[in-house]
A = this chain, B = another copy of it.
Amino acid sequence: MVRWEPGGRSRLQTAAVELFLAQGFEQTTAAQIAESAGLTERTFFRHFTDKREVLFEGQEHFQQVFVDGAAGPPRGEAPLVLVSAALARAADLFPQERREGARLRQRVIAANPALQERELLKLAGVAAALAAALRERGVHEPSATLAAESGLTVFTVAFGQWLAEGEERPLEQVVGAVLAELTTLARPGGNA
């Protein structure tokens, strides 16, 4: 019989990130995370495949949200309109109450090159899935890939701003501002 641990999953996540920050990702074991959360190692492995999954869980869902978002606008809209719809849907995944946890996760990843590679690969996967969704909607190459990759760049830049200390705007608003910026890059005077 599997024993029900109330809040076990989120207790494990909190404990993991605290340990990753205190002593490093490589130096932290699943057993330590479980102990710190007051749970058994077996419980840890009921929730996560390994310690890395604590940081990268939900990737399929994250990707699917972009894909579903791009299906929203009517046919005939510009590629960037589809991308904008995808980004808005993805931004909804990160309400205000997730900001602090996302900041801590970002600090863990910034401290570890292997985790950074993993994060880049995750974002590349989302971009490829979004490009496929755009082609599905009739956007030709190379526009589909360009629009999808640019969209992920916008999301990443906006996400970084959203995590900055003192930033108060909701993520969707930051995404909108960065997306608007993307369309002005061809305008002179930016480096006056």
Contact = CB atoms under 8 A, between A and B. Distances in A.
A187 B78 CA distance: 5
Nearest to A77: B188
A183 B187 CA distance: 11
A124 interface: yes
A82 interface: yes
Interface in A74-105: 75-83
Given A78-B189, A81-B186, 20 more contacts: A76-B188, A77-B188, A78-B185, A78-B188, A79-B185, A80-B185, A83-B185, A116-B121, A117-B117, A117-B121, A139-B190, A139-B191, A142-B178, A145-B157, A146-B150, A146-B182, A146-B185, A147-B185, A150-B185, A183-B186
